[in-house]
């Protein structure tokens, strides 16, 4: 077969793709830096001829017109597995709704509910064998495209070619659009002093030979820096980050001690700067696998000394963790936090760690509270936390009674709120 000819037959314009979208359709877009910018940036232009089009996204990198413009209500409803600042803003317009999920079940549960008409993603240019690489992630993308009526890929020569389960053959694609746009990047958040203190505490809990999972932000970046003196760490993570590149280049990450995919760093997606994208380009030491596999707690738990490191917004005195909402208002998402925390506890020698500042807004609000704010989502059950860390220390949760947990958490709360927390704990009869 002449794959170049097949590719040419499937090559169309953005406008041709948009012309195929009808009222009532479900569209699922690839997530984060894998999103098809060319198609999504023009999706709003068909507003006047469609109604009730559902667009499923996750961590969109741009504030697209189809959800940011209030006039899109009734024409497009954006449903997201993870909120960004733009989605939080658009929520009040009635153009956005949140999809509760555990990452490893996100695609499975969505497909149980509804079959997508379109999958919209991105890929590298085709090789001589007719294969394209889905590049920066397959968290849910492979599962969705295998069930969609139409698979549309935006081809971008700037995307890194990656390994694992990312390959797709041109024969499995219905349409391709070419758009060689800059790959979305996120700036590196430099750790502040609090981040560094928390990072050092967490590093104390990470033993040589551990396999780790990290997220993004000041605290995870500080953790990565604090791990530079460790040996033979492995990576089994939802998101591959810039800090992991630094650890690999420093010789800290060898993946030698891993139980699964020994010798390889495993992730479901990558998001960062050009440095990160250059590192994973054509790098056989980094593999992307589906979120349904990587984030399955029973897969995670097979790793020896698996350490799950996540952040939170609020923790109550019994250890319940809210990481995704401010009261009833959705802020981000569950993502893989519960997946990795549960998996770490199954692991022999594993640890589930939650980190947060002890207070916010210039020390006027304690993040350690007697009870969670009304309406707050419990992202992580109190049964699934081993350690909670603030800039004031480490509170051990594993195996402890409520009374012990309360005392340990008050000890790492901001000093300004400790007496108040003690009194409230006594009122609630948990002291």
Active site (catalytic) residues: 238
β-strands 150-155, 118-123: how paired?
parallel
Q: How many CA atoms lie within 13 A of 40 on its CB side?
A: 30
Distance of alpha carbon 287 from alpha carbon 267, whole angstroms: 6
- How far is Cα of residue 214 from the mean position of the Cα atoms in its chain? 10
Residue 177 Cα distances to 1, 17, 93, 199, angstroms: 21, 9, 31, 43
Give the pairing type, strands 26-29 and 118-123. parallel
CB-based contacts of 171, cutoff 8 Å, min separation 6: 1, 6, 130
CA 220/CA 170 separation, integer angstroms? 38
| Tokens representing residue 336 in the block | 């893989």
Q: Give how far the C-alpha of residue 378 lies from the chain's centroid of Cα atoms, to the nearest Å.
A: 17
Instruction: List 79's β-bridge partners, or say none.
Output: 56, 97
């Amino acid at each position: 077969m002449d794959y170049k000819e097949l590719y040419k037959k499937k090559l169309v314009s953005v406008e041709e793709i948009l012309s195929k979208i009808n009222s009532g359709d479900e569209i699922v877009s690839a997530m984060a830096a894998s999103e098809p910018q060319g198609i999504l940036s023009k999706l709003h232009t068909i507003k006047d001829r469609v109604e009730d089009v559902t667009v499923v996204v996750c961590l969109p990198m741009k504030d697209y017109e189809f959800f940011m413009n209030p006039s899109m209500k009734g024409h497009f409803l954006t449903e997201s597995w993870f909120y960004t600042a733009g989605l939080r803003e658009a929520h009040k317009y009635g153009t956005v709704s949140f999809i509760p999920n555990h990452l490893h079940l996100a695609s499975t549960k969505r497909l149980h509910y509804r079959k997508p008409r379109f999958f919209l993603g991105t890929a590298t240019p085709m090789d001589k064998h007719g294969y394209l690489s889905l590049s920066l992630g397959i968290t849910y993308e492979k599962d969705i495209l295998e069930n969609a009526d139409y698979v549309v890929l935006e081809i971008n020569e700037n995307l890194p070619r990656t390994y694992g389960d990312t390959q797709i053959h041109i024969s499995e694609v219905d349409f391709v659009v070419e758009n060689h746009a800059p790959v979305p990047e996120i700036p590196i958040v430099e750790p502040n002093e609090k981040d560094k203190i928390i990072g050092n505490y967490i590093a104390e809990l990470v033993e040589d030979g551990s396999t780790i999972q990290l997220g993004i932000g000041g605290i995870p970046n500080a953790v990565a820096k604090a791990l530079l003196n460790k040996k033979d760490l492995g990576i089994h993570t939802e998101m591959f980050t810039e800090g992991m590149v630094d650890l690999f280049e420093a010789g800290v990450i060898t993946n030698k001690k891993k139980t699964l995919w020994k010798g390889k760093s495993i992730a479901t997606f990558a998001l960062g700067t050009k440095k990160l994208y250059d590192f994973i380009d054509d790098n056989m030491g980094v593999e992307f696998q589906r979120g349904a596999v990587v984030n399955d707690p029973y897969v995670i738990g097979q790793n020896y000394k698996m350490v799950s490191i996540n952040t939170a917004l609020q923790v109550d005195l019994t250890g319940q963790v809210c990481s995704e909402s401010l009261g009833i208002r959705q802020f981000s998402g569950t993502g893989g936090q519960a997946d990795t925390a549960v998996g770490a506890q199954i692991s022999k020698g594993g640890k589930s760690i939650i980190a947060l500042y002890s207070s916010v807004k210039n020390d006027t609000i304690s993040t350690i509270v007697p009870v969670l704010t009304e309406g707050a989502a419990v992202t992580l059950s109190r049964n699934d936390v081993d350690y909670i860390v603030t800039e004031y220390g480490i509170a051990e949760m594993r195996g402890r009674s409520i009374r012990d947990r309360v005392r340990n958490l008050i000890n790492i709360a901001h000093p300004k709120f400790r007496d108040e927390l003690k009194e409230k704990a006594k009122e609630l009869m948990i002291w």
